[in-house]
Amino acid sequence: MRLLALVVRLAVPAALLVACSGPPAPPLPPRVAAFAKLPDWSGLWEPNVFVGEGIGQSLSAEGLKAGASIMGVTFPFTPEWQAKFDAAKAAQAAAVAADPNHPPAPTYNNCASPPFIMNMASPAIYEWRVTPEETTIVDTINGIRHIYTDGRSHPAADEVWPTKAGDSIGHWDGDTLVVDTIAIKPDVMLTPQLGLKMSDQLHFVERFRMVNADELHDELTLEDPVALTKPFEITFVFKRVKDATRMIDETECDSTTDRNPIVNGRFTSITTR
């Protein structure tokens, strides 16, 4: 009798539970399940160098502190590239001395969006659009990077050519996106201000990860066996943007809107418009 009572006491709640919860949920569609495994990097981000930038684009105290760590880097150039670097710096110094009021300008025009890797450290707002097949990084200065995570390889050597963003493929290592990039235009790398080209063997590996709710890191390792004696590492830190809620592309820039035109490789004065 006691046994019967126990069975009833257990069976009735169990039956009620099944009746209330219904049949087990069907498995998620494969793509939805794939989405569910991805980290949430939604929101707007900006490089920490430019957090609190002034209305004239001067750096804040936090930005200066962040920038100082970048300013302190030394590239491990090979002797051949070190000589090129030194010569370029000397030429720039001579140009500044010759006309301090009109300093030498970068080797690309004002209106060009910054090349990779410098587009990862620009005063702009960034978004990471994470999908199972691809992560797209979009910024407000006309920069878009497509990072394919569908298992593909880089294109064959005879099907790839140097571009500003290069060709990127990636895979997930837990919550870290590991990105491999090749085919970057060597003439817009690292030191466009000095006009120093890297070699055509440039190769990048990046590890993107969100270290906390408000900070996302891009740990970048640059390899160039011709120009560098060893891999060069640098980390770009992105902070969550809290004073803006939308992406607005601000790239209306051409000869009619650019009031600081570069003339003969030098910054000019301000034209009236």
Q: Which of 82, 110, 221, 229 lies at the binding interface for other proteins (CB under 8 A)? A: 110
Q: Which of 55, 97, 156, 157 lies at the binding interface for other proteins (CB under 8 A)? A: 55
Q: Does 186 bind other proteins (CB under 8 A)?
A: no
Q: Does 82 bind other proteins (CB under 8 A)?
A: no
Q: Smallest distance, Å, CB 116 to other proteins?
A: 9
**In terms of CB distance, is 148 or 232 closer to other proteins?**
232
Q: Where do the DSSP E strands lie in 55-202? A: 126-130, 134-139, 144-148, 167-173, 176-182
Q: How many CB atoms lie within 10 A of CB 113?
A: 20
**In terms of CB distance, is 37 or 242 closer to other proteins?**
242
Q: Smallest distance, Å, CB 167 to other proteins?
A: 20
Q: Which of 48, 135, 140, 149 lies at the binding interface for other proteins (CB under 8 A)? A: 140
Exposed e or buried b for every residue in 77-105, given b needs 16+ CB within 10 A? bbeebeebbeebeeebeebeeeeeebebb
Tokens of 91: 């030429």
Size of the site for other proteins (CB under 8 A): 59
Instruction: Provide the mask over 197-236, with x wherever binding to other proteins is found by CB under 8 A and - wherever it is not.
Output: ----------------------------------------
Interface with other proteins in residues 62-81 (CB under 8 A): 64, 67-68, 70-71, 73
Exposed e or buried b for every residue in 191-204, given b needs 16+ CB within 10 A? bbebbbbbeeebbb
Q: Which of 127, 215, 219, 258 lies at the binding interface for other proteins (CB under 8 A)? A: 258
Bridge partners (DSSP) of residue 181 are 168, 204
Q: Tell me whether strands 126-130 and 134-139 are parallel, antiparallel or unpaired.
A: antiparallel
Q: Which of 6, 15, 58, 235 lies at the binding interface for other proteins (CB under 8 A)? A: 58
Q: Does 136 bind other proteins (CB under 8 A)?
A: no
Q: Which bin fits 162, alpha (ψ -120 to 50), beta or left (φ > 0)?
A: beta
- Is 152 in contact with 224 (CB distance < 8 Å)? no
Q: How many CA atoms lie within 13 A of 232 on its CB side?
A: 20
Q: Does 172 bind other proteins (CB under 8 A)?
A: no
Measured distance CA(125)–CA(208) in Å, rounded: 17
Binding site for other proteins (CB under 8 A): 49, 52-61, 64, 67-68, 70-71, 73, 92, 100-103, 105-106, 110-111, 114-115, 118-119, 121-125, 140-141, 190-194, 243-244, 248, 250-253, 257-260, 267-270, 272-273
